[in-house]
Chains A and B, each alone.
Chain A
């Protein structure tokens, strides 16, 4: 019967641990001015922002920073649950702004990052050298055969992106009557790989791509001209037939964080730099084999004049 007792003890011990666990659930972190939860959206430019902001918050201002790798839309949900304090690089998202800023009043605009964002359809420069009129979307069907792959069947392949990004390429292809099919790469890294290959092996490529990005300084890409953006032409994402707008990237913070975040909130509102700055840090992280912390440290050491201005 000793094993019976042992089993009983196992159960009792288990329950006891659970109870104790529930009781002492408040393990505080001492010595810090507070914790800042930064959402990190999945592209390296954003990661560069987060690296520098986190570094300065921790080293200069004495905060604890928790970085959370989340998709854009999911990050916004975090404002409501309190899991996220800051989105550092917001690309438009009027629908989310409406829900979380105007209606639920849990988030607010915290000013621009100084970065200007461009999203568009790009082809490698060598394709434009060979076929100068390829940059007009009206001629894309003429060249569709060039872009055929094993995945696209008898259509041309359009290289889509991470499904979480701001995008409406499938709708554009339908609404502009193009004989293309989207293949989603699923991530920035996979797209970068495809672009590098297209450049090195002269493989035809038409892809969703953006700026600021370090790769733009390495591989020459040319933007395809779609019908120009006009205010409101992207209101219905299924009927959209115009190019992406230019984005003045901004920061979004949780309202509660704005009220109680103290220096950290002020610092984040002040944060402002150029595309060039971001590309430098992003390049360190991707190609310099540095951790985000090391990349941030290197940039911070070299650019004191810039970040001093952000200090509260």
Chain B
């Protein structure tokens, strides 16, 4: 990866080329604006071809033997897995499940974790979302099971063979860049609606971390250990079973943790294809514009995510071979007590009370207070929200969109590619040019430029906000401590939820899509900036201070430049998150490719356009990813930056 990137140019040359590029671009724009544009055509031949493909699948789904075997097989297996998990969770009844979860927490992580799981499960019921939560849990388990069955073996292979890993790496990248939303339609076409399609769509997103982290774990086994085992005559198989796997165990369990988190962040969006669970409430909330309804469901998902996260994290610590000797397992009595309590709770739930139904008498909902707060803001702060919307729309969105859609396509493509050369070198520029040609080929130029506009504006605002809040948290421990739980929650909340407050405050506009994207993408940026600044060595800072630098000079001349690598990684992460969210913004009038995907999913005659838009989104994603990543690695020259994409922790929108 690193070796492929040419040595960094001397800054003076770089600046010269940048200025030349800017002057040339402006001159060409003035000369040719309005010509060679590619206005959108809903009837483009490429869309028609995809529509024909849809019609063919639809007509042959039940007669073509390959399709029949594939569809019936996958549907039956996935359906059984999901209904099986759901059946178990339901049979255990709510008191039983709650006690079992609490007991499991107690055994794995002690009293605090036990309490967390116990109260977490109870809160599902109190929120009035027991059934929906259990469905989401079953759905997550089903998707995670398959993800691990595929991901861990592939990851082991990838960990043992560098060539294999570099071969599958681009595929993993695409799997994670492509917003789930984009592939709902094609998968629903083949596997029809229902939990099967939901699970498949989810596992596409959940497999990459399983593969990546398993590979990381296997590769991370100290070479000396491997050497020692090999010299003692261990076969490859023995090496794997006796050395590599046990040593990598902790990392692999962390991979399971990541897989669960990814699956959970995706599983809600699949409600659009009739997957049961909390996602249904979110969809409903969007339909009826009810922020409170979405908040309750979002909260349940956050609670579920926290529980599963803590549980698997603790489990990974427990299986760490380095600690195996020291860690005290739970005592035999405790285990017995948990077992007895669980059985008793299940029996109580089955025979004593109606454990299938959480009592409605104890219920609490944030619906009313949240809705009251939202309507207060939209009524009383109307001038502020309207001002923000208009400032961003007239100041940024409209001019950028106008320029991008009015400039000749070759000028836009040429400038972006040239920028890629300046920023990252020849290789990313080539990829960029290819992606742009691809977008040209699938006849979605104008909509892609609209989406690109939204991505640029949202990324810019995300970076500005992230930088400000990141600096503040780096400066003040108190601020950082207050902000951290907010960021945790914001990152766990399904991105879907952010659409609602955005719509309530800013209407169904492009700006609402941008706002939702900012809320979604800003937490990791804040964190990375904070870490970047905090890791500036104290000696460097002191040197600055003793040289008489003021606080703002210190920030500009010392801290920010040193934090630049972190900022570039933040840009890279942020831009992909923003892209995935901007697309979902199509649900609330954000337009562009997002709208095409939405329409392609819900209207048959738009299928082709929607699928083409999904391709365009992937191409945009690859392009933005490569440009920002290469910018990061050419400047940072920091090997740890490339480790970042192996352990990417941010969830995505869908």
Chain A positions near chain B (C-beta within 8 angstroms): 1-4, 6-7, 10, 14, 17-18, 20-27, 42, 44, 68-74, 77-78, 80-81, 83, 95-96, 99, 103, 150-151, 153, 163-164, 170-171, 183-190, 193-194, 237-238, 286
Residues from chain B with Cβ under 8 Å of A71 in the complex: 272, 601-603
Residues from chain A with Cβ under 8 Å of B90 in the complex: 27
Report the minimal beta-carbon distance from A46 to chain B, rounded to whole angstroms. 11
Residues from chain B with Cβ under 8 Å of A14 in the complex: 145
Offer 23 A-B interface pairs, CB within 8 angstroms, sorted by A.
A1-B324, A4-B246, A7-B246, A7-B249, A7-B319, A10-B315, A10-B319, A18-B81, A26-B87, A27-B83, A42-B287, A68-B274, A69-B287, A71-B601, A71-B602, A99-B58, A103-B59, A150-B389, A163-B586, A183-B508, A184-B591, A186-B589, A187-B286
Taking a contact as CB atoms under 8 Å apart, the answer to whether A186 and B329 are in contact is no
Taking a contact as CB atoms under 8 Å apart, the answer to whether A163 and B598 are in contact is yes
Taking a contact as CB atoms under 8 Å apart, the answer to whether A81 and B604 are in contact is no
Taking a contact as CB atoms under 8 Å apart, the answer to whether B287 and A187 are in contact is yes
Taking a contact as CB atoms under 8 Å apart, the answer to whether B589 and A184 are in contact is yes
Taking a contact as CB atoms under 8 Å apart, the answer to whether A72 and B507 are in contact is no
Report the minimal beta-carbon distance from A1 to chain B, rounded to whole angstroms. 7
Confirm or deny: B634 has a beta carbon within 8 angstroms of a beta carbon on chain A: no
Residue of B nearest to A185 (CB): B508
Residues from chain A with Cβ under 8 Å of B393 in the complex: 150-151
Which of B81, B194, B589, B606 has the most chain A CB atoms inside 10 A of its CB?
Answer: B589
Given A186-B588, A238-B43: A21 touches B81 (CB 8 Å cut-off): yes
Confirm or deny: B357 has a beta carbon within 8 angstroms of a beta carbon on chain A: no
Report the minimal beta-carbon distance from A73 to chain B, rounded to whole angstroms. 5
Taking a contact as CB atoms under 8 Å apart, the answer to whether A190 and B605 are in contact is no
Taking a contact as CB atoms under 8 Å apart, the answer to whether B84 and A22 are in contact is yes
Known A7-B249, A190-B503; 15 more pairs at CB < 8 Å: A3-B327, A4-B321, A10-B319, A21-B80, A21-B81, A25-B80, A25-B84, A26-B83, A27-B90, A68-B274, A71-B601, A72-B602, A163-B606, A183-B508, A185-B508
* B: interface residue count bin: 35 or more
Taking a contact as CB atoms under 8 Å apart, the answer to whether A184 and B595 are in contact is yes
Give B568-596 as 1s and 0s: 1 = Cβ < 8 Å from A's Cβ atoms.
00000000000000000011110100010
Whole-angstrom CA separation of A24 from B90 in the bound complex: 12
The 8 Å CB contact of A77, one of B88, B188, B246, is B188
Which of A95, A171, A183 has the most chain B CB atoms inside 10 A of its CB?
Answer: A183
Taking a contact as CB atoms under 8 Å apart, the answer to whether B589 and A190 are in contact is yes
Whole-angstrom CA separation of A177 from B595 in the bound complex: 23
Residues from chain A with Cβ under 8 Å of B598 in the complex: 163, 186
Taking a contact as CB atoms under 8 Å apart, the answer to whether A3 and B193 are in contact is no
Taking a contact as CB atoms under 8 Å apart, the answer to whether B587 and A25 are in contact is no
Whole-angstrom CA separation of A184 from B599 in the bound complex: 11
Confirm or deny: B626 has a beta carbon within 8 angstroms of a beta carbon on chain A: no
Give B97-127 as 1s and 0s: 1 = Cβ < 8 Å from A's Cβ atoms.
0000000000000000000000000000000
Residues from chain A with Cβ under 8 Å of B398 in the complex: 150, 153
Report the minimal beta-carbon distance from B499 to chain A, rounded to whole angstroms. 9
Taking a contact as CB atoms under 8 Å apart, the answer to whether A73 and B604 are in contact is yes
Confirm or deny: B85 has a beta carbon within 8 angstroms of a beta carbon on chain A: yes
Whole-angstrom CA separation of A14 from B389 in the bound complex: 51
Taking a contact as CB atoms under 8 Å apart, the answer to whether A83 and B318 are in contact is no
Residue of B nearest to A160 (CB): B589
Whole-angstrom CA separation of A25 from B595 in the bound complex: 38
Residues from chain B with Cβ under 8 Å of A24 in the complex: 84, 87-88, 91
Taking a contact as CB atoms under 8 Å apart, the answer to whether B274 and A74 are in contact is yes
Residues from chain B with Cβ under 8 Å of A72 in the complex: 602
Which of B91, B287, B509 has the most chain A CB atoms inside 10 A of its CB?
Answer: B287
Report the minimal beta-carbon distance from A93 to chain B, rounded to whole angstroms. 9
Within 8 A of A (CB), among B304-360: 315, 318-321, 324, 327, 329
Taking a contact as CB atoms under 8 Å apart, the answer to whether B319 and A3 are in contact is yes
Whole-angstrom CA separation of A78 from B197 in the bound complex: 12
Which of B286, B595, B603 has the most chain A CB atoms inside 10 A of its CB?
Answer: B603
Residues from chain B with Cβ under 8 Å of A183 in the complex: 508-509, 589, 591
Residues from chain A with Cβ under 8 Å of B286 in the complex: 186-187
Residues from chain A with Cβ under 8 Å of B599 in the complex: 163-164
Residues from chain B with Cβ under 8 Å of A1 in the complex: 324
Residues from chain A with Cβ under 8 Å of B58 in the complex: 99
Report the minimal beta-carbon distance from A57 to chain B, rounded to whole angstroms. 19
Taking a contact as CB atoms under 8 Å apart, the answer to whether A150 and B87 are in contact is no
Chain B positions near chain A (C-beta within 8 angstroms): 42-43, 58-59, 61, 79-81, 83-88, 90-91, 145, 188, 192-194, 246, 249, 271-274, 280, 283-284, 286-290, 315, 318-321, 324, 327, 329, 389-390, 393-394, 398, 402, 503, 507-510, 586-589, 591, 595, 598-599, 601-606
Residue of B nearest to A71 (CB): B602
Report the minimal beta-carbon distance from A44 to chain B, rounded to whole angstroms. 8
Taking a contact as CB atoms under 8 Å apart, the answer to whether B603 and A83 are in contact is no
Taking a contact as CB atoms under 8 Å apart, the answer to whether A21 and B193 are in contact is no
Taking a contact as CB atoms under 8 Å apart, the answer to whether A163 and B588 are in contact is no
Residue of B nearest to A42 (CB): B287
Residues from chain A with Cβ under 8 Å of B324 in the complex: 1-4
Residues from chain A with Cβ under 8 Å of B508 in the complex: 183-187, 190, 194
Residues from chain A with Cβ under 8 Å of B290 in the complex: 189
Residues from chain B with Cβ under 8 Å of A17 in the complex: 88
Whole-angstrom CA separation of A68 from B274 in the bound complex: 7
Residues from chain B with Cβ under 8 Å of A7 in the complex: 246, 249, 319
Given A151-B393, A164-B602, A190-B289: A74 touches B273 (CB 8 Å cut-off): yes
Given A20-B84, A99-B58, A186-B589: A150 touches B394 (CB 8 Å cut-off): yes
Residues from chain B with Cβ under 8 Å of A189 in the complex: 287-290
Whole-angstrom CA separation of A71 from B402 in the bound complex: 33
The 8 Å CB contact of A70, one of B61, B193, B606, is B193
Residue of B nearest to A83 (CB): B194
Whole-angstrom CA separation of A68 from B604 in the bound complex: 19
Residues from chain A with Cβ under 8 Å of B86 in the complex: 27
Whole-angstrom CA separation of A18 from B79 in the bound complex: 13
Taking a contact as CB atoms under 8 Å apart, the answer to whether B85 and A238 are in contact is no
Residues from chain A with Cβ under 8 Å of B603 in the complex: 71, 73, 163-164
Which of A1, A95, A189, A238 has the most chain B CB atoms inside 10 A of its CB?
Answer: A189
Given A150-B389, A238-B43: A190 touches B588 (CB 8 Å cut-off): yes
Which of A3, A77, A95, A171 has the most chain B CB atoms inside 10 A of its CB?
Answer: A3
Taking a contact as CB atoms under 8 Å apart, the answer to whether A186 and B188 are in contact is no
Whole-angstrom CA separation of A80 from B194 in the bound complex: 11
Residue of A nearest to B55 (CB): A99
Residues from chain A with Cβ under 8 Å of B394 in the complex: 150
Which of A17, A68, A150 has the most chain B CB atoms inside 10 A of its CB?
Answer: A150
Which of A77, A83, A96, A194 has the most chain B CB atoms inside 10 A of its CB?
Answer: A77
Residue of B nearest to A285 (CB): B288
Residue of B nearest to A237 (CB): B605
Residues from chain A with Cβ under 8 Å of B280 in the complex: 69
Residues from chain A with Cβ under 8 Å of B193 in the complex: 70, 74, 77-78, 81, 83
Whole-angstrom CA separation of A175 from B591 in the bound complex: 21
The 8 Å CB contact of B274, one of A6, A70, A153, A164, is A70
Residue of B nearest to A27 (CB): B87
Report the minimal beta-carbon distance from A107 to chain B, rounded to whole angstroms. 14
Taking a contact as CB atoms under 8 Å apart, the answer to whether B84 and A151 are in contact is no
Report the minimal beta-carbon distance from B516 to chain A, rounded to whole angstroms. 12
Report the minimal beta-carbon distance from A20 to chain B, rounded to whole angstroms. 7
Residues from chain B with Cβ under 8 Å of A42 in the complex: 287
Taking a contact as CB atoms under 8 Å apart, the answer to whether A69 and B283 are in contact is yes
Whole-angstrom CA separation of A26 from B91 in the bound complex: 11
Report the minimal beta-carbon distance from A63 to chain B, rounded to whole angstroms. 18
Residue of A nearest to B252 (CB): A7
Whole-angstrom CA separation of A23 from B80 in the bound complex: 8
Whole-angstrom CA separation of A150 from B479 in the bound complex: 36
Residues from chain A with Cβ under 8 Å of B284 in the complex: 69
Residue of A nearest to B138 (CB): A21
Taking a contact as CB atoms under 8 Å apart, the answer to whether B192 and A77 are in contact is yes
Residue of B nearest to A188 (CB): B287
Report the minimal beta-carbon distance from A7 to chain B, rounded to whole angstroms. 5
Taking a contact as CB atoms under 8 Å apart, the answer to whether A238 and B84 are in contact is no
